[in-house]
Chain A
Amino acid sequence: MLDVGRRGPGPVLPEEDFPSLKAALDDPAAYLLGRDYEALILPDFEREYYGFPPSKSHVFAPNPEWRMHATGMSPLVTFAAGGLAEAWTGGSYPFNDDDLERFPFGYDHLAPHYETVARRIGITGVSDDLSRFMPLHGGLTGPLELDDHPARLLHSYQRKRQSLNSRYGLFMGRARSAVLSGNLGARKPCSKLGRCLWGCPTQSLYTPSVTLGDCMMKPNFRYTPGHYITHFRFDSGNRVTGVVSRSAADASEHEFPVGRLVLGGGTLSSSAIFMNSIHRDSGRTITLHGLMDNRQVLMPFVNLGMLGRRFEPRGYQYHQLAMGLVGASPRDYVHALITTLTTALIHPLIQQLPFHLRGSAAAFRDLHAALGLINVNFADSRREENQLTLDTSTPGAPRLLIRYAPRTDEPGRIAAATRALRSALLRMGCIAPSRMTRLRPMGASVHYAGTIPMRSKPEPLTCSPRCRSHDFENLYFIDGTSLPDLPAKNLTLTLMANAVRVAELEF
């Protein structure tokens, strides 16, 4: 496995919970805000509710080799060991048959692989109202005990369930999360340190570096970090013969012979390698169409029943509850994840309250336990106008050009969904001020997919249902590149299950 493989700092004081960590650290501001205060959110950037934790800054650290220009979106790329899911929130939602309508296979084909992944990484899930949208695949473990706020929210939902279901098409249930509720190998169950956002110090919250570590223990696995892959070489029969990298240490070029090449660098990186390889061989500049990403909307709310209650920082920080909102058709399903803002930095939130800062700080003390945030996700589909190509007009390595435009009906879809959610929340005793709802920039969800989609019939710039390129017989894509559609649900679990499926079918 060739990888740039950036790594972050190791866990700091892994036994401490979030409040005691602040007391135990010599320089807590350096840990929480960064040595250069990079996680400080000043009023210029107050559209953000979270500062990105400095402990994970390696995940999105730029690479000088990577050149990109985007129009219509603000994409993020990573060169971290383990990839983007090193900074994920653990949401693990299987696609159902409606979601897989444009895939060359249905849920039955993926179900055993969802189960394999669940058994390997640990995923919590139960049968509840969300099971109608998310099949209950094998391997799931019992959920974590709910904290006070989500427990009250779920109770409110259950009391008003019938009207919420029928009037707003809203269903609520437990989040499916890649977090341990019991032992799994050497990993221990979540001990509710409240440090998820900062990087789980006990590996109870799964990140891909856990699997990478497991793989490195295998005698037939070799991991070679420090290599930025620029392109692959192929012969006249369109068979990949080698992969070319540039060393991160000294920028020297290396070539590794390959029998079969599997690209898993993420949709943007894998697509760039693919296009660059063709360009280097023939001078031809190709365009890949159909780039997709989930639009996300952040909707903060106040649970009136929690006002004035004591805030409990010792808990699981990410989503404990999720919601599904049915649309006119199954493809219009909207996926929403609820977090109750436990141990994120609070200064970005305080400055957004509608008072002077002193008043906002005082009000926040009563509000903190009552605050929640809904992350609303919208589906996307492949469209010709959303594309990737290379800019080869400038000296040096080609630059990736990205062009994206949202669906023309997006404003209406977002308005309808947020209106329904706001009304439903009100019935559950929660207020979601419309002025605080934020449309995240396109690209912020980092769910990029669809540039070399699976097709049953061989066509150029597509791949087989087993993710083998239709252009190069020994080339595979096991990231979002091969997805032919993008439902609203977080795609990471499906990427993992699909990678397992490809491995079992082809290797």
Chain B
Amino acid sequence: MHNFLERECRVFTRYLIGMEPDAYVIGKYIDYHRRAGAEPIASFDRALLNAAMAARVLMWIADSYTAAFRRNAQLRRKLVLVLALLECRPPYSDHLDTPGHLSAVTAILSLAGQGMAFGLGVAASLVIFEPVRLWCAIKAGGGRSA
């Protein structure tokens, strides 16, 4: 279980900020899950999580999907947890607060770029994950919780 959580923490940290988490961040990630206990997870949420762990491009698409349509998904909760841990710990906290661009114009262009990336991710997610969601819903008896 710890190995699995450690792998999640590494994958999520690399995806979010392009850095490797240190032992402290991994330890806190595992500690959080130990304290929170095993939460029941809907089959579609499980599918999103598995897809995100399988490939970086699927992580981006699943992240976009949960941001647009399923904000309380397990994947998004775990990503927010990693963000929260990273902001507590240098050098990750410094990275999260250092501007990537040096002028308002380049910052605006970067924001526009993030908007486009998000839009593309959402479009791709509709093609990939909506059928999965429908299949999970049918399998679960039509419940929206799938």
| B2-10, B42-50, B110-118, B132-140 - interface stretch | B110-118
Q: Would you give 14 A-B contacts (Cβ < 8 Å), ordered by A?
A: A19-B90, A23-B90, A29-B85, A33-B85, A40-B80, A41-B84, A42-B80, A43-B77, A356-B117, A356-B118, A357-B79, A358-B60, A361-B17, A364-B96
What is the minimal beta-carbon distance from B5 to any residue of chain A, in angstroms? Answer: 15
How far, in angstroms, from A31 to B87 measured CA to CA in the complex?
12
Is A188 in the interface zone, CB < 8 Å from B? no
What is the minimal beta-carbon distance from A346 to any residue of chain B, in angstroms? Answer: 5
| A65-73, A218-226, A304-312, A486-494 - interface stretch | A304-312
Is A147 in the interface zone, CB < 8 Å from B? no
* B83 in contact with A308 (CB, 8 Å): no
CB contact list, A305-332 vs B, under 8 A: 305, 307-311, 313
* A362 in contact with B80 (CB, 8 Å): no
* A40 in contact with B84 (CB, 8 Å): yes
- A40 with B71: in contact, given A22-B90, A304-B104, A305-B104 (CB under 8 Å)? no
What is the minimal beta-carbon distance from A276 to any residue of chain B, in angstroms? Answer: 38
* A347 in contact with B110 (CB, 8 Å): no
Is B129 in the interface zone, CB < 8 Å from A? no
Q: B interface vs A, CB < 8 Å?
A: 15-17, 28, 32, 35, 60, 63-64, 66-67, 71-72, 76-77, 79-81, 83-85, 87-90, 93-104, 106-108, 110-111, 114-115, 117-118, 121
How far, in angstroms, from A365 to B18 measured CA to CA in the complex?
14
- A365 with B97: in contact, given A42-B80, A43-B71, A347-B83 (CB under 8 Å)? yes
- A358 with B88: in contact, given A308-B106, A365-B99 (CB under 8 Å)? no
Is A36 in the interface zone, CB < 8 Å from B? yes
* Chain B residues positioned under 8 Å from A23 (CB to CB): 90
* Chain A residues positioned under 8 Å from B64 (CB to CB): 356
How far, in angstroms, from A364 to B110 measured CA to CA in the complex?
11
* B80 in contact with A357 (CB, 8 Å): yes
CB contact list, A7-54 vs B, under 8 A: 19, 22-23, 28-29, 31-33, 36-37, 40-44, 46
How far, in angstroms, from A362 to B111 measured CA to CA in the complex?
9
* Chain B residues positioned under 8 Å from A361 (CB to CB): 16-17, 83, 96
Is A363 in the interface zone, CB < 8 Å from B? yes
* B63 in contact with A365 (CB, 8 Å): no
* A355 in contact with B118 (CB, 8 Å): yes
What is the minimal beta-carbon distance from B17 to any residue of chain A, in angstroms? Answer: 7
* Chain A residues positioned under 8 Å from B102 (CB to CB): 308
* A308 in contact with B107 (CB, 8 Å): yes
Among B67, B85, B103, contact of A308 (Cβ-Cβ < 8 Å): B103
Is A366 in the interface zone, CB < 8 Å from B? yes
- A366 with B72: in contact, given A22-B93, A358-B60 (CB under 8 Å)? no
- A357 with B16: in contact, given A43-B77, A366-B110 (CB under 8 Å)? yes
Closest A-B pairs by Cβ, 10 of them:
A308-B107, A359-B114, A366-B107, A307-B104, A356-B63, A347-B84, A307-B107, A356-B64, A29-B88, A28-B88
How far, in angstroms, from A309 to B17 measured CA to CA in the complex?
19
* A358 in contact with B15 (CB, 8 Å): yes
* A363 in contact with B114 (CB, 8 Å): yes
* B83 in contact with A355 (CB, 8 Å): no
* Chain B residues positioned under 8 Å from A174 (CB to CB): none
Among B79, B80, B114, contact of A355 (Cβ-Cβ < 8 Å): B114
* A37 in contact with B35 (CB, 8 Å): yes
* Chain A residues positioned under 8 Å from B80 (CB to CB): 40-43, 347, 351, 357
* Chain B residues positioned under 8 Å from A432 (CB to CB): none
Among A33, A305, A307, A362, contact of B114 (Cβ-Cβ < 8 Å): A362
What is the minimal beta-carbon distance from A310 to any residue of chain B, in angstroms? Answer: 6
